[in-house]
Amino acid sequence: MIPASRWRLAGLYLVVAALLLVLGGRLWTLQVTDHAHYVSLATQDRIRDVVQPSVRGEIVADNGQPLVDERSTLEITVNMSVVSQQPGGGTAELDRLAALLRIKDKTLQDEVRVCTVGVQQPCWTGSPYQPIPVDQHVSYKLALQVKEDQSQFPGVTAGVQPVVHYPEPTGYDLAQVLGYLQPITAQETKQLHVPVTGFSGEDLVGQAGLEAEYDAELRGQPGIDEVQVNAAGQVISTIKDVKPEAGDDLVTSINPAVQEATETALTNAIHTTEAEGNYKATSGAAVVMTTKGRVVAMASYPSYNPSVWSGGISAKEFRKLFGPAHGEPILERATQGAYHPGSTWKVTTTTAAVRAGYSLYADYDCPGSVDVDGHVFNNDFGNGGEMSLHEALVLSCDTVFYNFGWWIWQKNGRRYDTVTSPHFPVQEMQKIELDWGFGKDTGVDLPGESAGTIPTREWLYYFWKDNAHRGEDWCKYGRADGSYVQQIEYDDCTTGNVWEPGQAVISAIGQGYVAVTPLQLARAYAALANGGTLYSPRIGEALISPSGKVVKRIKPPVVGHLPASKATLAYIRSALQGVVTSGTAASAFGGFPLNKVCVAGKTGTAQVAGNLATSVFASYAPCDHPKYVIVMMIPNSGYGADVSAPAIRKIWDAIYGLEGAKAALPGGQLPALPHMNSAGQIVTDTQTQQGTGKHSHRRHP
Domain borders along the chain are 42-68+166-252, 74-157, 342-520
User: What pLDDT score does 143 carry?
Assistant: 81
Q: CB count, 10 Å around CB of 484?
A: 7
User: What pLDDT score does 323 carry?
Assistant: 81
| 221 vs 50, higher pLDDT | 221
Q: Give the residue-averaged pLDDT of 682-688.
A: 56
Q: Give the residue-averaged pLDDT of 693-699.
A: 48
> What's the CA gap between 524 and 569, in Å, rounded?
12
Q: Phi and psi (nearest 5°) for 105? A: -55, -45
**pLDDT over threshold 80, residue 428:** yes
- Out of 223-237, 251-265, 415-429, pick the least confident: 223-237
Which residues are CB-contacts of 267 (< 8 A; sequence separation ≥ 6)? 301
Long-range contacts: 305-310, Cβ < 8 Å, 24+? 305/166, 305/172, 305/175, 306/166, 306/171, 306/172, 306/175, 306/178, 306/180, 307/164, 307/165, 307/166, 309/164, 309/180, 309/181, 309/182, 310/163, 310/164, 310/165
| 1 vs 538, higher pLDDT | 538
| 168 vs 605, higher pLDDT | 605
User: What pLDDT score does 548 carry?
Assistant: 86
> What's the CA gap between 338 and 86, in Å, rounded?
63
> How sure is the predictor about 178, in pLDDT bands with cuts at 50, 70 and 90?
very high
Q: Give the dihedral of Cα atoms 399, 405, 408, 411; nearest 10 deg.
A: -100
Q: Phi and psi (nearest 5°) for 418? A: -90, 105
Q: Which of 55-64, 269-278, 319-328, 572-581 holds the top average pLDDT? A: 572-581
To the question of pTM greater than 0.85 for the whole model, the response is no
Q: CB count, 10 Å around CB of 596?
A: 11
CATH 3.90.1310.10 for domain 42-68+166-252: yes
- Out of 266-275, 305-314, 345-354, 617-626, pick the least confident: 305-314
User: What pLDDT score does 413 carry?
Assistant: 78
User: What pLDDT score does 594 carry?
Assistant: 97
User: What pLDDT score does 321 carry?
Assistant: 83
User: What pLDDT score does 125 carry?
Assistant: 64
Q: Give the residue-averaged pLDDT of 342-357.
A: 97
Length of the chain as a residue count: 701
| 435 vs 203, higher pLDDT | 435
- Out of 91-105, 366-380, 583-597, pick the least confident: 91-105
User: What pLDDT score does 320 carry?
Assistant: 82
First-to-last alpha carbon distance for the chain, in angstroms, is: 87
> What's the CA gap between 503 and 486, in Å, rounded?
19
User: What pLDDT score does 695 carry?
Assistant: 47
> What's the CA gap between 335 and 287, in Å, rounded?
10
- Out of 157-171, 340-354, 650-664, pick the least confident: 157-171
Summarised one tens digit per residue, pLDDT across range 134-177 is 877 788 888 888 887 888 889 888 876 666 777 777 766 898 99
| Percent of the chain residues topping a pLDDT of 90 | 51
Q: What is the mean pLDDT of the chain?
A: 85
User: What pLDDT score does 166 carry?
Assistant: 75
Question: Which whole-number Å values give the CA distances from 457 to 51, 410, 432, 453, in the listed order?
Answer: 54, 15, 14, 12
CATH, domain range 342-520: 3.40.710.10
**Cβ pair 368, 402 in contact under 8 A:** no
> How sure is the predictor about 617, in pLDDT bands with cuts at 50, 70 and 90?
very high
Rounded to 5°, angle at Cα 42 from 36 and 46: 140
**pLDDT over threshold 80, residue 203:** no
User: What pLDDT score does 692 carry?
Assistant: 41
User: What pLDDT score does 696 carry?
Assistant: 46
- Out of 274-283, 457-466, 654-663, pick the least confident: 274-283
- Out of 93-102, 381-390, 623-632, pick the least confident: 93-102
| 243 vs 656, higher pLDDT | 656
Q: Phi and psi (nearest 5°) for 74? A: -90, 135
> How sure is the predictor about 30, in pLDDT bands with cuts at 50, 70 and 90?
low
User: What pLDDT score does 281 carry?
Assistant: 87
User: What pLDDT score does 61 carry?
Assistant: 93
Query: Regarding the domain delimited by 74-157, which CATH topology (the fold level of the hierarchy) does it fall under?
Result: Ribosomal Protein L30; Chain: A, (3.30.1390)
Q: Give the dihedral of Cα atoms 323, 328, 331, 335; nearest 10 deg.
A: 120
Cα 391 to the center of its chain, rounded Å? 40
**Cβ pair 256, 172 in contact under 8 A:** no
> How sure is the predictor about 694, in pLDDT bands with cuts at 50, 70 and 90?
very low
User: What pLDDT score does 35 carry?
Assistant: 65
Which residues are CB-contacts of 207 (< 8 A; sequence separation ≥ 6)? 179, 180, 181, 182
Q: Phi and psi (nearest 5°) for 515? A: -145, 140
SS (H, E, C) 340-390: CCHHHHHHHHHHHHHHCCCCCCCEEEECCEEEECCEEEECCCCCCEEEEHH
> How sure is the predictor about 126, in pLDDT bands with cuts at 50, 70 and 90?
low
| Percent of the chain residues topping a pLDDT of 70 | 81
User: What pLDDT score does 231 carry?
Assistant: 55
**pLDDT over threshold 90, residue 649:** yes
| 55 vs 270, higher pLDDT | 270
> What's the CA gap between 236 and 227, in Å, rounded?
7
Q: Phi and psi (nearest 5°) for 330? A: -65, -20
> What's the CA gap between 582 and 577, in Å, rounded?
9
> How sure is the predictor about 198, in pLDDT bands with cuts at 50, 70 and 90?
very low
Helix axes 566-582, 518-530, angle to 10 degrees: 110
**Cβ pair 197, 222 in contact under 8 A:** yes
Closest CA to 538 of 171, 212, 213: 213
**pLDDT over threshold 90, residue 315:** no
Helix axes 346-355, 428-435, angle to 10 degrees: 120
**pLDDT over threshold 60, residue 543:** yes
**Cβ pair 466, 593 in contact under 8 A:** no
Helix (H), strand (E) counts: the chain = 25, 25
- Residue 183: helix, strand or coil by DSSP? strand
**pLDDT over threshold 80, residue 4:** no
Closest CA to 665 of 63, 258, 169: 258
Tell whether omega for the bond before 167 is within 30 degrees of 0, i.e. cis: no
Residue 235 amino acid letter: V
User: What pLDDT score does 477 carry?
Assistant: 93
**pLDDT over threshold 90, residue 681:** no
User: What pLDDT score does 274 carry?
Assistant: 63
Residue 268 amino acid letter: N
User: What pLDDT score does 222 carry?
Assistant: 74
Q: Give the residue-averaged pLDDT of 499-520.
A: 96
User: What pLDDT score does 112 carry?
Assistant: 83
Q: Which is it for the CA torsion 683, 685, 687, 692, positive or negative?
A: positive
User: What pLDDT score does 132 carry?
Assistant: 81
- Out of 66-75, 152-161, 530-539, pick the least confident: 66-75
656: left (phi over 0), alpha (psi -120 to 50) or beta: alpha
